[in-house]
Structure 1
Amino acid sequence: MTVINTNSVMAMRAAILQQNAALREASSAADVVSSPLSGTTRAGSANFGTAMKSALSEVNALQNQSSEAAAAYERGETTDIAAVMLAKQQASIGFEATLQVRNKLLSAYKDIMSMPV
């Protein structure tokens, strides 16, 4: 029989809600940047930069949280392997998403640089 710790479930729920809020912020910042008729040139890039910095710091926090959870499990401080594996998967998915965004940005930069003037 499996015992579910309600505190860990609520903590995971809060983390997921926080990630969703960050994604909404990043999406709204991308809408401002991608709209050429909005008249924002420098302000849009500042919002995009802020959103990217926020997203990178969240991925870094997920990586650190995952490492701490794994270390706590290895030391025997926790026995909840499901929470450790969930933290590892969240960190992995966050890293993969960041890597894909980086690849798309590099591809767009290469495309722009190869355009004839």
Structure 2
Amino acid sequence: MSAVRTGFGIEDVMALRSQVLARSAALRAVRAASETGGAPQATGRAPGAGFADTLNTALKQVSAVQEHSSAMQVAYERGQVTDIAQVMLARQEAGVAFEATLQVRNKLLNAYQDIMRMGG
């Protein structure tokens, strides 16, 4: 058993994680560029409303990814899905999406705090 563990160690997992994070960031950048490209000119809404809609859509997407991950895990436990790689990829994708959401939340909170400090 130890030969199997040394062939795929923590360094390999961390390298795979960093690749997934990089690809996810690239996909988010492409998606954000395509979604925000024509939205502000097409609508007569205030910029804040567009931001709120974008944030709401992003949170719904993260929720959908997490639900898909949970469904894949339940299906694997029931024996309906036999490819563990798909299940692990779905879990990793959900983890990355959640981490990205936390980072966005932290940045928004920091920006809010900076704005509040400016007023006083």
Q: TM-score, normalised by structure 1?
A: 0.67
Instruction: Give aligned-pair identity as a percent.
Output: 48
- Mapping of residues 101-116 of structure 1, within 5 Å: 101-116=104-119
Structure 1 match to 2:33? 24
Output the CA distance in 1 between the equivalents of 2:54 and 2:80. 35
Identify the residue that residue 15 of structure 2 maps to in structure 1. none
Cα 1:110–1:26 change in 2 (3 A) is farther
Matched to 1:43, the amino acid is: A
Aligned partners of 1:22 and 1:55 also within 8 Å? no
Tell me if 1:68 matches 2:71: yes
The whole-number CA distance in structure 2 between the counterparts of 1:60 and 1:21 is 20
Q: RMSD value over aligned CA atoms?
A: 3.1
C-alpha distance 114-21 of structure 1, shift in aligned 2 (>3 A): same
Distance 1:28 1:92 in 2: 28
Q: In structure 2, list runs of 5 or more residues that go unmatched.
A: 1-23
Aligned length: 94
How many Å apart are 1:19 and its aligned residue? 5.8
Specify the alignment match of 1:49 in structure 2.
52
Q: 1:87 aligns with which of 90, 96, 106?
A: 90
| Counterpart for residue 17 of structure 2 | none
Greater helix content = 2
